[in-house]
A and B are shown apart, each in its own frame.
Chain A
Amino acid sequence: MSEPIVRFQEVSKSYDGRSLVVAGLDLDVVAGEFLTLLGPSGSGKTTTLMMLAGFELPTSGTIRLDGRDITALPPHRRGIGVVFQNYALFPHMTVAENVAYPLRVRNVPAAETAARVAKALGLVRLAAFGDRRPAQLSGGQQQRVALARALIFEPPLILLDEPLGALDKQLREDMQMELKQIHEALGVTMIYVTHDQSEALTMSDRVAVFNDGRIQQLASAYELYERPVNPFVARFVGENNQLAGEVVACEGDTARIRLGGGVTILANAVDRLSPGDAADVSLRPERIRLAHGDGEARDNLVAGAVDKLVYLGESTRLFVSTPGGPTIVAKVQNEEAALDVARGRPVQLAFRAADARAFRVERPA
């Protein structure tokens, strides 16, 4: 792995001197990658970004940019581009003046400025909008201006703080594609903060999931979705059944777990489990099939009755209650014929042990 462009070492931040917003953060950002900081509000992801931008001073620890300690360097001397959620365009300047601002700060000659502004506006497909005022543009256009303004001075690193949060869904998806293209075209490192997990999964090379001021997991989108390392990540990324149970037996990385009532399943032990341990099993609804008694080999078959059906178009969500056990949500693709289930009907849920991930948890007795 090449030298990281950004390195957080033991960085902590506290506003009141007691509770930590960011707690002992260690994080290396690889040059050229698209890294997303994902987490619920208050998880420390935005504070982390603001410390990197220089707007917040860490309570302890160091932040390095290209090997240089920038922990206490004021923001205007860091040379990092920042795109804010509310765009933060200068309302009294035209679009072109906004985009030219970083060059004006750096005393770039007028002719060169004009050429670079035209190029930057072209990159975000706003070449014809240079003379407009920010207030005359739509939200999506304003955010593209903000992006052009952050890119024009060619910073090696761009920070984006929920930049698409204020846009509607369609526009957001278009902008995601556009951002991704710009990232690939320029090879610039981007650090992106969002609370939207689907946005994180579709755009990122790596995702750092934040909760309680700590990184819960730092991995590719695939890893995060397929192999969450703890119940929080499993719950936060994608949809999940979170089933509480007790370990009956454990052999290698397969555990037998009783979920209450007569329901016992085979699950993949993520942590070391021993009989008697309390465990949470997370199981994605779309990994559950309805068994039709066709003799297919399945690790788990759970009998239950359909409580409720929610039709979603491409799929149907079934809420299946098991006798004495938990209610399990299954998401079944609507293929060819209509699904042959109705409320109250008994069904058999089938899923692989590898898709049921068991975590050890501490449960008060």
Chain B
Amino acid sequence: MAARSIRTRGERVGRLAVLAFTGLVLVFLVAPVFVVVPLSFTDSEILVFPLPGWSLRWYEDFFTNPLWTGALYNSFAIGLSVTVLATVLGTTAALGLHASRFRLKPVALGLLMAPLAVPVVIVAVAMFYFFARIGLLGTFPGMVLAHTVLALPFVVVTVLATLQGFDPTVVRAAASLGASPLFGFRTVTLPIIAPGVVSGALFAFVTSFDELVVTIFIASPRQRTLPRQIFSGVSENLSPTVTAAAVVLIVVCMSLMIAVELLRRRSARLQGKAQ
């Protein structure tokens, strides 16, 4: 713990007020998410508190009902494809942007980041018309491409951040020692920036895995993803299976985000030592 500094009475009161306010904000943000957790363990057909009894029947339904397992499978298939595509494209884009000094660099970066800034619904409408024209609407490649566009900025940003602490002379050193550009990239550059690449990949997966708006616009009726199935489950028939699905979604996304944070710390530690 850091050494405590001496505070006046007024400062102590102020500090307590800040802590209390922060706590309230956190509760406000997180509580709705966690309300679904106990609800998913209910043994009742209707969602009420207090729970009439505990049961895992909704989880059983989630993992056996083809409607839900199909959605889960789709989400994973699309998510993993997006992860591979966005990571490869985003990493190469970040490397290129980092190395070059061309005049349109801010423009290129801005275009890559655009999906973050433009309202998702606009992106979705644009993609709907564009994909309809080129025949990608309601197809698996169409879904993967659409989610890749949304996931790309996260990969570019995390890899660029890692490259800030990357010493480019190690690449020259590798070349002087006889390594071809490809061998040098594989044995030197990639291992050093790996934490950023992996965080970017995890972000990309999560972006696709919990994406709903674009999916609603461009997916075919039979292309059900987990968020979309939850959405229709809520609006059509409120079965408690929805809460079980939500908990699965939360657990997957949260564990991936925790992994990202651990990687970030590890990377900071490695680079801090190398300086």
Residues of B within 8 A of A133 (CB): 273
Residues of A within 8 A of B172 (CB): 53, 55, 75, 82, 84, 88
Q: How far is the CA of A90 from the CA of B174 in the complex (A)?
A: 9
- List B residues 35-70 near A (Cβ within 8 Å): none
Q: How far is the CA of A88 from the CA of B273 in the complex (A)?
A: 14
- B177, A92: Cβ atoms under 8 Å? no
Whether B97 is near chain A, meaning CB under 8 Å from some CB there, is no
- B175, A74: Cβ atoms under 8 Å? yes
Whether A225 is near chain B, meaning CB under 8 Å from some CB there, is no
- B175, A76: Cβ atoms under 8 Å? yes
In the assembled complex, the CB of A287 is this many whole angstroms from the nearest CB of chain B, namely: 43
Flag B3-19 by CB within 8 Å of A: 1 or 0 each: 00000000000000000
- A76, B167: Cβ atoms under 8 Å? no
- B178, A106: Cβ atoms under 8 Å? yes
In the assembled complex, the CB of A277 is this many whole angstroms from the nearest CB of chain B, namely: 48
- B274, A91: Cβ atoms under 8 Å? yes
- A82, B176: Cβ atoms under 8 Å? yes
- List A residues 72-121 near B (Cβ within 8 Å): 74-76, 78-82, 84, 86, 88-92, 101-102, 104-106
Q: Do A92 and B175 form a contact, CB below 8 Å, given A84-B169, A86-B167? A: no
Whether B108 is near chain A, meaning CB under 8 Å from some CB there, is no
- A76, B179: Cβ atoms under 8 Å? yes
Q: Do A92 and B192 form a contact, CB below 8 Å, given A76-B178, A81-B176, A101-B174? A: yes
- List B residues 152-211 near A (Cβ within 8 Å): 167, 169-170, 172-181, 183-184, 187-188, 191-192
- A105, B179: Cβ atoms under 8 Å? yes
- B183, A86: Cβ atoms under 8 Å? no
Whether B270 is near chain A, meaning CB under 8 Å from some CB there, is yes
Flag A51-82 by CB within 8 Å of B: 1 or 0 each: 00111000000000000000000111011111
Instruction: Select one of A76, A86, A101 contacting B169, CB under 8 A.
Output: A86
Residues of A within 8 A of B180 (CB): 76
- B177, A102: Cβ atoms under 8 Å? yes
Q: Do A92 and B191 form a contact, CB below 8 Å, given A55-B172, A86-B167? A: yes
Find the A residue at minimum CB distance from B192. Answer: A92
Q: How far is the CA of A98 from the CA of B26 in the complex (A)?
A: 47
Q: Do A88 and B167 form a contact, CB below 8 Å, given A76-B180, A105-B183, A134-B274? A: yes
Whether A191 is near chain B, meaning CB under 8 Å from some CB there, is no
Q: How far is the CA of A11 from the CA of B66 in the complex (A)?
A: 73
- B270, A92: Cβ atoms under 8 Å? yes
Residues of A within 8 A of B167 (CB): 86, 88
Q: Do A91 and B177 form a contact, CB below 8 Å, given A55-B172, A84-B169? A: no
Chain A interface residue count, CB cutoff 8 Å, equals 31
- B270, A91: Cβ atoms under 8 Å? yes
Whether A129 is near chain B, meaning CB under 8 Å from some CB there, is no
Whether A279 is near chain B, meaning CB under 8 Å from some CB there, is no
Q: How far is the CA of A55 from the CA of B178 in the complex (A)?
A: 13
In the assembled complex, the CB of A296 is this many whole angstroms from the nearest CB of chain B, namely: 57
Most buried by A among B172, B177, B183, B274: B177
Residues of B within 8 A of A164 (CB): none
Q: How far is the CA of A105 from the CA of B176 in the complex (A)?
A: 11
Q: Do A88 and B191 form a contact, CB below 8 Å, given A106-B178, A134-B274, A135-B273? A: no
Q: How far is the CA of A290 from the CA of B192 in the complex (A)?
A: 63
Residues of B within 8 A of A79 (CB): 178
Residues of B within 8 A of A91 (CB): 170, 192, 270-271, 273-274
- List A residues 126-164 near B (Cβ within 8 Å): 133-136, 146, 149-150, 153
Q: Do A88 and B169 form a contact, CB below 8 Å, given A105-B183, A134-B274? A: yes
Find the A residue at minimum CB distance from B184. Answer: A76
Find the B residue at minimum CB distance from A101. Answer: B177
Q: Do A75 and B274 form a contact, CB below 8 Å, given A84-B169, A86-B167? A: no
Beyond the given A76-B179, A90-B170, A153-B177, please list 7 additional residue pairs across the A-B interface where CB-CB is below 8 A: A54-B176, A55-B172, A76-B174, A84-B172, A88-B172, A91-B270, A150-B177
What would 27 A/B residue contacts be, using CB atoms closer than 8 Å?
A53-B172, A76-B175, A76-B179, A76-B180, A76-B181, A78-B176, A81-B176, A84-B169, A84-B172, A84-B173, A88-B169, A88-B170, A88-B172, A89-B170, A89-B173, A90-B173, A90-B174, A92-B191, A101-B187, A105-B179, A105-B183, A134-B274, A135-B274, A136-B273, A149-B173, A150-B176, A150-B177
Residues of A within 8 A of B (CB): 53-55, 74-76, 78-82, 84, 86, 88-92, 101-102, 104-106, 133-136, 146, 149-150, 153
